[in-house]
Homo-oligomer: A and B are copies of this chain.
Amino acid sequence: MQEKSPVLKAAAFFEGTEKKLELIVRPGAASLRSLSHGFWRELVQSAKADILSHIANEHCDAYLLSESSLFVWHDRILMLTCGNSRLIDAACFLLSNLNAQLQLLGDESSTTVTPINSLTSNVEQDAIAFFCYQRKNEYQAELQSSTFAEDIARLRQLISGKAMRLGHLDSHHHYLFYSDRAYQAAKEDNTCELLMYHIGGELAQYVGSDGQDLNELKTKLKLATLFTQFELDCHLFEPHGFSMNGLWQQYYISVHITPQTVLYDASVNSSAYVSFETNLDLQQYPNLLADILQLFAPVSWDLIGFNCKVATNAFPAHLCVGTASLTSEQGYTILFSHYQQLQTEVFVPELM
């Protein structure tokens, strides 16, 4: 065989793509930030993850996790986990326990007392106004402990909702479940996820290399210019991987870099996956996503948006492979789009 001499690495496969849950409580419910640190630790541990560090401001607590991030505002929770973590267990933990915990704090919106660990389904009078659970297509779905179909079967024991897949099974796609109880989202309630596959250039080589320095990486990531106002909490993983939470006013950012198993030298074929997520109003920052795409130079990327208005004209030259858009009863315009760079990539055989 005439392939180049391989530089085999012993790196184990790590699933970079994230699962995500969001939960919004009704007006009048006790502040989620009043819940004990022990509650959040238990929530995170139920997903088989750990809390690494924590930053906070008057609006939000941001926890950096061993597998991604947890953000807690007064009225909402956002949790992202990657790897083989079990976010579905955390979702069931929340749906089973949150009402009782809030009532202990004096929830004003709830009219019934739900015992801890109650599995009573579809309690319309509880504090949960909106719940959403999402899974991006995994690199190796067969290594996950559950399928999305299994996850939604469990969720539907606890809360009713709609579930769907956006995109084809053989390519990038996204699974989405959201509750169907009455709720109206605020127009400014927006989030945007930019998921970048097989990043390129100098940065790609650095994040796959050994002996990285956190300050050097932060410089290469241009954090000081891209996210000037944000307080940042960064973590470099051994041997590879980077996670970051950022807070500014009620806004968050989250960046996670996962160098995939690269059997060949990373200079030949980087396969790192990078996720970026924010609730910034991108109409105020029209070049932010394009700047991030220029920085990471991915082969392909996906956008997942809730009420997210994105200008794509400054994006690198691309084909938009496919797009889905729908409006939920809660007033969320949900977008999923899959983009591909225009160059033909030369695949290097990955020996097994």
Binds B, one of A33-41, A51-59, A124-132, A319-327: A319-327
Binds B, one of A115-123, A142-150, A275-283: A142-150
- What chain B residues lie within 8 Å of A329 (beta carbons)? 1
- What chain B residues lie within 8 Å of A141 (beta carbons)? 140-142
Q: Which residue of B has the minimal Cβ distance to A349?
A: B164
**Interface presence of A101 (CB below 8 A):** no
Q: How far is the CA of A329 from the CA of B1 in the complex (A)?
A: 5
Asked whether A348 and B328 contact (CB < 8 A) given A169-B140, A319-B342, the answer is no
CB distance from A110 to the nearest CB of B (A): 27
Indicate the size class of the contact surface on chain A.
35 or more
Give 8 A-B pairs besides A137-B170, A321-B344 with Cβ atoms closer than 8 angstroms: A2-B326, A142-B142, A148-B352, A149-B352, A168-B347, A170-B273, A322-B346, A323-B344
- 27 A–B pairs (Cβ distance < 8 Å), ordered by A: A1-B162, A1-B327, A1-B329, A3-B326, A140-B141, A140-B169, A141-B142, A142-B142, A149-B352, A162-B351, A166-B349, A168-B271, A169-B260, A170-B197, A170-B273, A171-B197, A171-B300, A175-B352, A319-B342, A320-B344, A321-B340, A322-B344, A322-B345, A322-B346, A323-B346, A324-B346, A324-B347
